[in-house]
Amino acid sequence: MYRALYRKYRPTDFDSVVGQESIIKTLQNSIVNQNFSHAYMFFGPRGTGKTSVSKIFARNVNCLSPKNGLACKKCDACQFSFSNECVDIIEIDAASNNGVNEIRELRNNVALVPSELKYKVYIVDEVHMLSDAAFNALLKTLEEPPAHVIFILATTDPEKVPDTIVSRCQCFSFKRISNETIRERLAFICKKEKIKIEDAVLDKIALLSDGGLRDAIGLLDKMVSYTDEKITIDDFNEVNGIVSDQDLFELIQSIMSGDIKNTLEIISQFNIKGKNLIQIMIQVVNYTRDIIVDYYLEKKNTDLSIDLLQVFVNELNEKMNDIKRSSNTKVFIEMFLLKFINDYISSNDNIEKNPVEKDKSEIKSEKNIDSKPKLNNNDFYSETDVVNHSSEDVMDYNYHVPKIINIDEILSVRINNTFATADKKLLKEESSNFELLKDYSFDQEIGYLVNELLDSKIRVVGTDSMIISYDSDAIVAQNLVNILKLQDVYNQITKSNKNIAIVSDQQWDVLKNEYISKIKNNEKYELLKEPDILLEEIKNDDIISNSAISLFGDDIVEIE
């Protein structure tokens, strides 16, 4: 059975954790000295090892014969803690279990002694997602925890965790992993898996992962799926919607020379080719920074003005968050570049302005670059122009979605039909389509749906349908409730007409093996007719009652 690389190479002991040496040393010493805290908080960027270290620490503190703070992996406690049957190491996803009732249940279970191990360890992932009431309930447990319980709270956003919780934890800050360390780890994986890849691709993956090793390994896995041959830098650029260094240099050279026409033409061509403009701007920042560093440290000469490059990279870097949040990325980038050229290039070098351009003081008063069009339920902004839709064309994404009674039957047919018409070319096209979603990830109306789609993995694409997967069953269940909304948002933005099937990563492994087995046995998937969607009828009084209970709890609301 094929396992995703990030799962296969996930650290299982402290020795295999990379990039967090000081944290590992501290935790190992606490095990050697038998000096544990009752509560820990691990915080830092995603993909830096918080959850992995939590699980490793949970196993190590329970080892009966640890050596230098490391689990022996031989004793009964180690054997049990590494098994799937272990019930004393509990991982809770706070994103989907963030209510006060879940924490109350946790409090009740905390009093129970461990079944097999010395310590019962609760790992609460994305703890910042808990509600205020849930935090208050958790606080009571952290204040007076039983001696046999250890809490490990993990989060990417510690600022949202109340100080009362933080003050009761021993805190560890997980740092972004260096590009060099990520590159070394990727090279190790490629050697073990016998993956042929150009060194330049490893450098690009390390840079693009932004310090997240899990993301880096995920990118490598995507490239392995893209081609069976040696992975080249052109393959990497094509799959990820980015451009070559030569293209970046031409764009920067055009900006620095004040050539407005050519600058806008280059941006337009990137857009027409379906490139990810946000990712390209991140490339521009990194590439410009490299030119400046090489000039000062390596004494490499350049025909471009270093002073202007420094101003440019600072200005662009400050605007990156606005670019990512913009409803129309292409327009925002164009306006930013026009403003920079007018403010810093044309005025300094006396380059003749286009007759239709206004004085920069007029531009400032009439068009603030920070103002951007708002995407709502009735307007979708494409990257090239504004497309208006009537209320009949666009769904109201705040409406209540009834339960689909025959969802299992629908998913079964969609999975079958996707495999029946599966095509690598379609998979490549749809992967490019997913890049279009990023322009809407901060939209107030549909951003939460777009981000759910972006968090998925595209597994296989057929003529009229595709299969996407998520890490856990809980996330799958949550997104199946919103499958109609997710599907509609995806098709509206990408101008597609795909039916979507949602499965877990574990389910995907099973489906993939079944598909491979059928292919080997020359068996074919026959196209099936998708059944009509049957929705559960919900009475008005049920909606009112259920909403009240969900808001205030069944111990407060009395339904007469």
Identify the pLDDT of residue 40: 92
Mean pLDDT confidence for 483-510: 90
Mean pLDDT confidence for 458-466: 93
CB atoms within 10 A of CB 177: 25
3-state secondary structure 23-70: HHHHHHHHHHCCCCCCEEEEECCCCCCHHHHHHHHHHHHCCCCCECCE
Q: Of 64-73, 354-363, 394-403, where does the model show the most confidence?
A: 64-73
Is the distance from CB of 405 to CB of 537 less than 8 angstroms?
no
Identify the pLDDT of residue 2: 67
| Distance, CA of 138 to CA of 51 (rounded, Å) | 19
Is the distance from CB of 46 to CB of 6 less than 8 angstroms?
no
CATH of domain 5-173: 3.40.50.300
- In the chain, residues under CATH classification 3.30.300 are 407-540
Mean pLDDT confidence for 236-262: 89
Instruction: Give the long-range contacts of residues 235-242, CB within 8 A, separation 24 or more.
Output: 235/201, 236/201, 236/204, 236/205, 239/428, 239/431, 240/208, 240/276, 240/279, 240/435, 241/274, 241/275, 241/276, 241/279, 241/432, 241/435, 242/204, 242/208, 242/275, 242/276, 242/279, 242/280, 242/283
In which band, very low, low, confident or very high, does the pLDDT at 225 lie, cut at 50, 70 and 90? confident
Residues 14-65: pLDDT tens digits?
Answer: 888 988 989 999 999 999 888 888 899 999 888 899 999 999 999 999 998 8
| Distance, CA of 217 to CA of 239 (rounded, Å) | 15
Where is pLDDT greater, at 262 or 537?
A: 262
Burial of 198 (0-12, 13-18, 19+ CB in 10 A): middle
- Is 509 a residue whose pLDDT tops 70? yes
Helical residues (DSSP H) of 326-368, grouped into ranges: 329-340, 347-349, 360-366
In which band, very low, low, confident or very high, does the pLDDT at 537 lie, cut at 50, 70 and 90? low
Residues 340-377: pLDDT tens digits?
Answer: 888 888 655 433 333 333 343 343 333 343 333 333 43
Residues 136-179: pLDDT tens digits?
Answer: 888 888 888 888 999 999 998 888 888 888 888 899 999 999 99
Residues 108-135: pLDDT tens digits?
Answer: 888 888 888 899 999 998 888 888 888 8
Residue 495 sits at φ, ψ, to 5 deg, of 55, 40
Mean pLDDT confidence for 192-214: 89
Mean pLDDT confidence for 462-488: 88
| Distance, CA of 272 to CA of 384 (rounded, Å) | 9
- Is 301 a residue whose pLDDT tops 80? yes
Identify the pLDDT of residue 359: 41
**Residue for token pair 């003529």:** 463
| Distance, CA of 280 to CA of 329 (rounded, Å) | 11
What count of residues does the chain have?
Answer: 560
Identify the pLDDT of residue 402: 67
- For the domain made up of 179-240, the CATH class stated in words is mainly alpha
**460 - beta bridge partners?**
467
pTM for the full predicted model: 0.56
What is the average pLDDT value for the chain, to the nearest integer?
A: 81
Identify the pLDDT of residue 337: 92
| Distance, CA of 317 to CA of 322 (rounded, Å) | 10
- Between β-strands 120-125 and 170-173, what pairing exists: parallel, antiparallel or unpaired? unpaired
First-last CA distance in the chain? 54
- Is 467 a residue whose pLDDT tops 90? yes
Among the residue ranges 255-259, 304-308, 553-557, the one predicted with the least confidence is 553-557
In which band, very low, low, confident or very high, does the pLDDT at 546 lie, cut at 50, 70 and 90? very low
Where is pLDDT greater, at 559 or 259?
A: 259
Fold (CATH) for 245-366: Zinc Finger, Delta Prime; domain 3 (1.20.272)
- In the chain, residues under CATH classification 1.10.8.60 are 179-240
- Is 448 a residue whose pLDDT tops 90? no
Q: How many CA atoms lie within 13 A of 534 on its CB side?
A: 8
Burial of 203 (0-12, 13-18, 19+ CB in 10 A): middle
In which band, very low, low, confident or very high, does the pLDDT at 189 lie, cut at 50, 70 and 90? very high
Q: Which residue, 138, 208, 186, is CA-closest to 166?
A: 138
Mean pLDDT confidence for 509-530: 87
Identify the pLDDT of residue 366: 38
| Distance, CA of 446 to CA of 285 (rounded, Å) | 28
| Distance, CA of 492 to CA of 439 (rounded, Å) | 13
| Distance, CA of 227 to CA of 220 (rounded, Å) | 11
In which band, very low, low, confident or very high, does the pLDDT at 400 lie, cut at 50, 70 and 90? low
- In the chain, residues under CATH classification 1.20.272.10 are 245-366
DSSP string, 160-229: GS-HHHHTTSEEEEPPPPPHHHHHHHHHHHHHHHT--B-HHHHHHHHHHTTT-HHHHHHHHHHHHHH-SS
Helical residues (DSSP H) of 391-504, grouped into ranges: 407-420, 424-437, 447-454, 473-481, 483-494
- Of the chain, the percentage scoring pLDDT greater than 90 comes to 26
**CATH architecture classification, 407-540:** 2-Layer Sandwich (3.30)
Is the distance from CB of 507 to CB of 469 less than 8 angstroms?
yes
Identify the pLDDT of residue 255: 93
Identify the pLDDT of residue 347: 52
Identify the pLDDT of residue 522: 84
Identify the pLDDT of residue 183: 93
- In the chain, residues under CATH classification 3.40.50.300 are 5-173
In which band, very low, low, confident or very high, does the pLDDT at 444 lie, cut at 50, 70 and 90? low
Identify the pLDDT of residue 322: 86
Distance from CA of residue 525 to its chain's centroid? 33
Mean pLDDT confidence for 486-493: 90
